[in-house]
Chain A
Amino acid sequence: MTHFTSMLTAALYAMLVQNIIFSTGYGMSESIRMAKRPKHFFMYGGTVTFFSLSLSLICFFLNKIPFIFSLETKYRIALYTIVLLAVYILSALFCLTVLKADKKFMNSLGMCALNTLIIALPVVDFKAGYTFAETVGTGIGAGFAFTLSMLLINTGMKHIHGNRYIPDVFKGTPALFIYISLIALAMSCISGQTLFV
């Protein structure tokens, strides 16, 4: 029960309290780009969750090896990147041969797997000294955070598109930046950070 509670707490923390996309910027450009395709949200979210969870778990067990535990940050990130590439290539081969995935899915698979969010997670887990349950929770929470960010950004895009009171020069990308900044501000405040106090 304690493990389940820790996992759930870590997942909710990564998703809501300190949304990992809006509070750190990891995977932000991917979530913005993918937010333009609402039909594929759950596919993208599921794929990101798969990669975040699998990489976090593999790296959790790798960190048990003393040599890897004592690695410098740069070599640690290099190692995690190579592990991620291995997971990505195996998943791609599985999708191509067994699932007979189409070209579109294969293109999005790369975008979902090779982004800063996935690479940053095991580093964050290591630095925070998370337990196994917390690592699982963070992996799942990051995927859900990604889905949530896509939903929020997509909603913002629709509002910006339909709003005629936005000045011409702010229409499109500038307004979207401001909108995302407001969400990031809201997320920062939820996590308990103070602004001018």
Chain B
Amino acid sequence: MKNKKSKPVLSLSTALFKGSFVHNPVLTQIIGICPIVGAATTAVNGLCIALGVTAVLTVTEVLTSLTLKKVPRWLRMAVYTLISLAVVLLCDKYIFSLTSDGGAGLGIYFYMLCVNALAVIRCEKFACKTSAVNALTDGVAAGIGYGAVALTVGAVREYITYGSLFTSPETLPRFPQTAMPFTVLVILGFMAAGHKWLLIKFYPDEVRDTFSMNAVYEKPEKKDPGLFADKNKAKPKVIRDYGDTIRPRHTDTEEKKGGDGK
């Protein structure tokens, strides 16, 4: 007899791919973006953040899976912070050796990885309910996904600002505005759109929008009815239609009557 409760076991490569790309923590759930916004100003800084987050996630998730399953949730959250703090303090000098300024460009953001929301969420949702091997896989996958975004953002910012990549910027910045958070958020917005486009094209069943308020995502084959759709047939469920405040919406029935509602 088939056990209905058993879940299909993913292969290592599939688990890594899904954890890092399909369910990317930054581009789908906006988790832990503070270090990316504040510290990923160059490609090397992005790499440092990526390595730091991966180390924190991996160690915290494995230790959670091994020891913290029976601890109350409110206390577990404090323990995650302590573990992350220990990891950050231990690995900082190795990671800072990659940078030319000894980690000065990362500021306090690197040390604040100890309270990164990503570690808490992954531990709570996954690591405290599964085995250490699965937790390790999840930690590495989420770390790779987060790191890829941090590295890309850092590289794009460095290129726009200094016109270089992975080199120590010694010239004055061409566009110092890229240091401002809004630039990062715009880059992240376009990256999230690209990510969603790829998911819709290749993995339409995996598209989940955390921030659509009511899971408003429409499947790709259902085109948006647009301005001239029939009100009764294809009106999407909305809270408030702010589009109507931009220009008046005409319906098919009005068009059939003569175009101007006569």
Partner pick for B33 among A28, A160, A170, A188, CB 8 A cutoff: A28
A25 and B181 alpha carbons, distance in the complex (Å)? 7
Task: Write the chain A residue with the least CB distance to B113.
Answer: A116
A-contact 0/1 string along B146-171, CB 8 Å cutoff: 00000000000000000000000000
Q: Which residues from B are CB-within-8-Å of A184?
A: 180-182, 185
Q: Which residues from B are CB-within-8-Å of A174?
A: 189-190, 192-193, 196
Task: Write the chain B residue with the least CB distance to A27.
Answer: B34
A120 and B115 alpha carbons, distance in the complex (Å)? 10
Partner pick for B27 among A92, A173, A182, CB 8 A cutoff: A173
Expressed in whole angstroms, the minimum distance between the Cβ of B230 and any Cβ of chain A is 14
Is A159 interfacial (CB-CB < 8 Å)? yes
* Chain B facing A: main interface SS: helix
Is B49 interfacial (CB-CB < 8 Å)? no
Is A195 interfacial (CB-CB < 8 Å)? yes
Expressed in whole angstroms, the minimum distance between the Cβ of B249 and any Cβ of chain A is 9
Give the number of residues in B that approach A within 8 Å (Cβ atoms).
Answer: 68
* Chain A facing B: main interface SS: helix
Q: Count chain A CB atoms within 10 A of each CB in B111, B182, B197 and give the residue with the most.
A: B182
Q: Which residues from A are CB-within-8-Å of B112?
A: 77, 116, 119-120
Q: Which residues from B are CB-within-8-Å of A78?
A: 85, 89, 111
Q: Count chain A CB atoms within 10 A of each CB in B36, B108, B116, B236 and give the residue with the most.
A: B108
Of B3-11, B59-67, B205-213, the segment with at least 4 beta carbons within 8 Å of chain A is B205-213
Contact of A165 with B246 in the complex, beta carbons under 8 Å: yes
Q: Which residues from A are CB-within-8-Å of B186?
A: 177-178, 181
Is B77 interfacial (CB-CB < 8 Å)? yes
Q: Which residues from B are CB-within-8-Å of A123?
A: 108
Contact of A169 with B193 in the complex, beta carbons under 8 Å: yes
A110 and B117 alpha carbons, distance in the complex (Å)? 10
Is B12 interfacial (CB-CB < 8 Å)? no
Q: Count chain B CB atoms within 10 A of each CB in A27, A29, A30, A178 and give the residue with the most.
A: A29
A31 and B200 alpha carbons, distance in the complex (Å)? 28
Contact of A110 with B73 in the complex, beta carbons under 8 Å: yes
Contact of B181 with A173 in the complex, beta carbons under 8 Å: no
Is A7 interfacial (CB-CB < 8 Å)? no
Is B101 interfacial (CB-CB < 8 Å)? no
Is A54 interfacial (CB-CB < 8 Å)? no
Q: Which residues from A are CB-within-8-Å of B177?
A: 195-196
Contact of B224 with A164 in the complex, beta carbons under 8 Å: yes
A36 and B214 alpha carbons, distance in the complex (Å)? 10
Which residues does A use to contact B, with CB under 8 Å?
22-30, 32-33, 36, 73-74, 77-78, 81-82, 85, 88-89, 92, 96, 103, 106-107, 109-111, 114-116, 118-120, 123, 157-165, 168-178, 180-182, 184-185, 188, 193, 195-196
CB pairs A–B below 8 angstroms (12 shown): A85-B82, A110-B120, A114-B120, A157-B211, A161-B214, A169-B194, A172-B209, A172-B217, A173-B196, A181-B184, A181-B185, A193-B180
